[in-house]
DNA sequence: TCAAATGATTATCT
DNA sequence: AGATAATCATTTGA
């Protein structure tokens, strides 16, 4: 057949003047002697085109064929091409590609952050089950919920990916379909590659709008899941007694500077995590930050209402003191005096009503702790010794009851902030002998 | 059932 | 980045 696809190209040379495809009589203009006859010809053809839609399909096909075979067809087609190219260019110039949608970017980032899109973390639902099995044991309740969350997340992930794939496939199918259609149509009407390109981009835009909806609803689902499972405020678990004791012992034995270093936090977390399993499944919520939270809360609440914590402070201080004494009497032990695991288990203290036994020596030492550049391990000994001293009742006169256990580390501004650098959990290298002068008062 | 306790979060500061 | 202070949301105990 003579029906070649006529994909338009800008270099096809569709210019009016001297176009090789134009028959000579077309290039002579319309003013010739036989011009009226030609006009009549064109008028007939146009008339046929106009009425073609009113005809039945068979009739139309026949007409179409007749038109295709018409001797004027190549010339008319080229004119059409030229007109079209000009209009298409003007259309294309009007709408340039827009910048990436910020909303879409936000959704993409979130899906990536939540682990829905992006690289799979170990194999979907199978991984969730494996994780559940692996983390089984301590904190079964917690890890069960955790794995439940992961299973649900991987479910969402799976749905998201299958849907996305479906959309992509549909998009590709539709695109090829449209392209085939356009190619087919290019036999009968001029179609430029740019036009095809534009059509494809329109299709892609439509599909990406659909994808955006998918992403949006996936994000919503993840947020709901998160709030259901991971919102720590909703799922708060109190520490158990042992963990609280460990933390309190550290706090009160470092009362002058209750800012554990990262290593100290890690160690404390390790100690507590064994008994607590207070592990939050959030992405940035490690056991260390749990310790940080605890110390943050403790510092604030202690400072706010020191009186309320007096008894507790005394108890832990005494405990630590005894532990330190035991350690030193047993020779040079490497054990930590500041965070003894079994300090309370000796049962040798009955401090429940001991509050009024303690009298502060705080008024005697002023702010000397703040400037002292001693290690906080020593400081912990100082804290401890202060209590040991006060326990002897040596400084009982002239002090009011509400001064019983003043916050040694708290300065005039009510802050610990300028206290010496944080310490380690592990045992001090210096002995109690290196304690500075204020304890001897 | 309610208040207190408590772990986590958030805004703000340095 | 890490601290504080205020606040939220839940747990606990009377």
Residue A435 lies in a domain: no
Regarding whether A106 and A221 lie in a shared domain, the answer is: yes
A118 conformational bin, left if phi > 0, alpha if psi -120 to 50, beta if neither: left
Question: A171 CB contacts (<8 Å, ≥6 apart)?
Answer: A203, A204, A207
In total, how many domains does chain A have? Answer: 3
Q: Within this chain, do residues A170 and A222 fall inside the same structural domain, yes or no?
A: yes
C1' (B3) to CA (A277) span, angstroms: 28
What does the pLDDT read at residue A403? 40
Average pLDDT over residues A17-36: 46
The separation, in Å, between residue A437 CA and nucleotide B12 C1' comes to 39
List the A234 CA – C11 C1' distance (angstroms). 10
A337 domain residue, yes or no? no
Per-residue pLDDT reduced to its tens digit, A120-144: 654 444 443 333 333 333 344 455 5
Residues with CB under 7 A from strand C: A 231, 233-238, 259, 262, 292, 296-297, 299-300, 303-304, 414-417, 422
pLDDT at A131: 38
Distance, CA of A20 to CA of A120 (rounded, Å):
60
Max mean pLDDT among A50-54, A92-96, A197-201 falls in: A197-201
* Pair (A166, A261) in one structural domain: no
Nucleotide nearest to A258 (CA to C1'): C3
What is the distance in angstroms measured between the alpha-carbon CA of A291 and the sugar C1' of C6? 20
Is residue A408 domain-resident? no
Q: Nearest nt to A235, CA vs C1'?
A: C10
| Residues spanned by the domain of A184 | 100-119+141-232
Nearest nucleotide to A230 (CA to C1') is: B8
Q: How far apart are CA A386 and CA A389, in angstroms?
A: 5
Residue nearest the C1' of C2 (CA based): A292
For chain A, the average pLDDT equals 65
- Provide the 8-state DSSP code for A98: P
Mean pLDDT is lowest, of A89-93, A190-194, A406-410, A425-429, for A425-429
What does the pLDDT average to over A307-316? Answer: 87
CA A304, C1' C9: Å apart?
21
Last residue within a domain, chosen from A180, A198, A232:
A232
Residue with CA nearest to B8's C1' atom: A233
Residue A258 confidence (pLDDT): 92
Name the residue among A111, A27, A29, A110 with its Cα closest to residue A75.
A27
Asked if residue A3 has pLDDT above 80, the reply is no
Same domain, A145 and A261: no
Shared domain for A115 and A197, answered yes or no, is: yes
Among all protein residues, pick the one whose CA is nearest to the C1' atom of B5: A238
Q: Whole-number Å distance, CA A80 to C1' B12?
A: 69
Average pLDDT in the A6-33 region? 43
- In whole angstroms, B9 C1' to A293 CA is 10
Average pLDDT over residues A156-169: 90
Higher-pLDDT residue of A116 and A227 is A116
Distance of A282 CA from B2 C1′ (whole Å): 32
Which protein residues, judged by their CB atom, are less than 7 Å from any atom of strand B? Answer: A 231-233, 236-239, 244, 278, 280, 282, 285, 289-290, 293-294, 296-297, 301, 308
Whether A264 and A150 share a structural domain: no
Residue A260 or residue A101, greater confidence: A260
Q: Tell me, in Å, how far CA of A152 is from C1' of B14?
A: 42
Q: Are residues A250 and A159 in the same domain?
A: no
What's the rounded Cα separation, in Å, for the pair A355 and A310?
A: 7
Q: Which nucleotides of C are covered by protein (CB under 7 A)?
A: 2-12
The pLDDT value given to residue A301: 93
Q: Does A244 fall in a domain?
A: yes
Residues A106 and A191 in one domain: yes
Tell me the pLDDT band of A391, cut-offs 50, 70 and 90.
Answer: very low
The pLDDT value recorded for residue A81 is: 75
Q: For residue A47, is it within any domain?
A: no
Residues A109 and A198 in one domain: yes
Strand B nucleotides within a 7 Å radius of protein CB atoms: 5-10
Are A203 and A249 in the same domain? no
Shared domain check, A243 and A227? no
Which residue is closest, via its CA, to the C1' of B14? A417
Q: Between the CA of A265 and the C1' of B3, what is the distance in angstroms?
A: 32
Q: Using the structure block, give the residue that is written with the tokens 């899941």.
A: A225
Can you give the distance from the CA of residue A259 to the C1' of nucleotide B3 in angstroms? 31
Q: What is the mean pLDDT of residues A285-294?
A: 79
Find the nucleotide nearest A312 (Cα to C1′).
B5
Residue among A259, A234, A303, A281 nearest A425 (CA): A259
Query: Do the domain assignments include residue A409?
Result: no
Give mean pLDDT, residues A170-186: 89
Q: For the domain that residue A312 is a member of, what is the CATH number?
A: 1.10.10.60
Domain boundary among the residues A232, A249, A283 is at: A232
Give a yes or no: residue A27 inside a domain.
no
A280: nearest nucleotide, CA–C1' criterion: B8
Identify, with chain letter, the residue nearest to nucleotide C4 (CA–C1'): A300
**Least confident segment among A180-189, A224-233, A254-263, A376-385:** A376-385
The Å distance, CA of A144 to C1' of C13, is 27
C1'-nearest nucleotide to the CA of A262: C2
Contact criterion met (CB below 8 Å) for A420 and A372: yes
Report DSSP letters for A338-403, one per residue.
SS-TTGGGG-----TT-GGG----HHHHTTHHHH----HHHHHHHHHHHHHHHHTTTT-TT--GGG
Span CA (A233) to C1' (B1), Å:
22
Segment A300-322 mean pLDDT: 87
Same domain, A203 and A321: no
Does residue A67 lie within any of the structural domains? yes
Where is the domain boundary, A164, A197, A232? Answer: A232
């Amino acid at each position: 057949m003579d029906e070649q696809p006529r994909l338009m190209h800008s270099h096809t040379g569709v210019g009016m003047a001297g176009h090789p495809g134009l028959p000579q009589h077309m290039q002579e203009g319309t003013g010739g002697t036989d011009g009226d006859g030609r006009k009549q010809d064109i008028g007939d053809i146009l008339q046929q085109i106009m009425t073609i839609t009113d005809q039945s399909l068979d009739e139309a096909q026949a007409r179409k064929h007749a038109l295709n075979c018409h001797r004027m067809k190549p010339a008319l087609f080229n004119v059409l091409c030229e007109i079209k190219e000009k209009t298409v260019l003007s259309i294309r110039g009007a709408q340039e590609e827009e910048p990436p949608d910020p909303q879409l970017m936000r959704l993409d980032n979130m899906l990536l952050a939540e682990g829905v899109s992006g690289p799979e973390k170990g194999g979907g639902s199978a991984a969730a089950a494996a994780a559940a099995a692996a983390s089984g044991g301590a904190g079964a309740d917690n890890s069960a919920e955790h794995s439940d969350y992961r299973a649900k997340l991987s479910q969402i992930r799976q749905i998201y990916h299958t849907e996305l794939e479906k959309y992509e496939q549909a998009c590709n199918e539709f695109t090829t379909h449209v392209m085939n259609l356009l190619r087919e149509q290019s036999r009968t009407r001029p179609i430029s590659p740019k036009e095809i390109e534009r059509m494809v981009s329109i299709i892609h835009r439509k599909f990406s709008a659909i994808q955006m909806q998918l992403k949006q609803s996936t994000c919503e689902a993840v947020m709901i899941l998160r709030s259901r499972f991971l919102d720590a405020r909703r799922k708060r678990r109190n520490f158990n007694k042992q963990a609280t004791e460990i933390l309190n012992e550290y706090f009160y034995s470092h009362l002058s500077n209750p800012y554990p270093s990262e290593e100290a936090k890690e160690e404390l977390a390790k100690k507590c995590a064994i008994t607590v399993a207070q592990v939050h499944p959030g992405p940035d919520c490690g056991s260390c930050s749990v310790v940080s939270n605890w110390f943050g809360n403790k510092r604030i609440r202690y400072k706010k209402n020191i009186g309320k914590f007096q008894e507790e402070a005394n108890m832990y201080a005494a405990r630590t003191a005894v532990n330190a004494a035991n350690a030193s009497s047993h020779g040079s032990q490497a054990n930590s005096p500041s965070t003894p695991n079994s300090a309370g288990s000796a049962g040798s203290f009955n401090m429940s009503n001991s509050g009024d036994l303690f009298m502060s020596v705080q008024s005697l030492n002023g702010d000397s702790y703040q400037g002292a550049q001693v290690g906080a391990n020593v400081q912990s000994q100082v804290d401890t010794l202060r209590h040991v001293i006060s326990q002897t009742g040596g400084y009982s006169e002239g002090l009011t009851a509400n001064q019983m256990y003043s916050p040694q580390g708290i300065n005039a501004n009510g802050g610990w902030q300028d206290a010496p650098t944080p310490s380690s959990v592990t045992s001090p290298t210096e002995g109690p002998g290196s304690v500075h002068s204020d304890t001897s008062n």
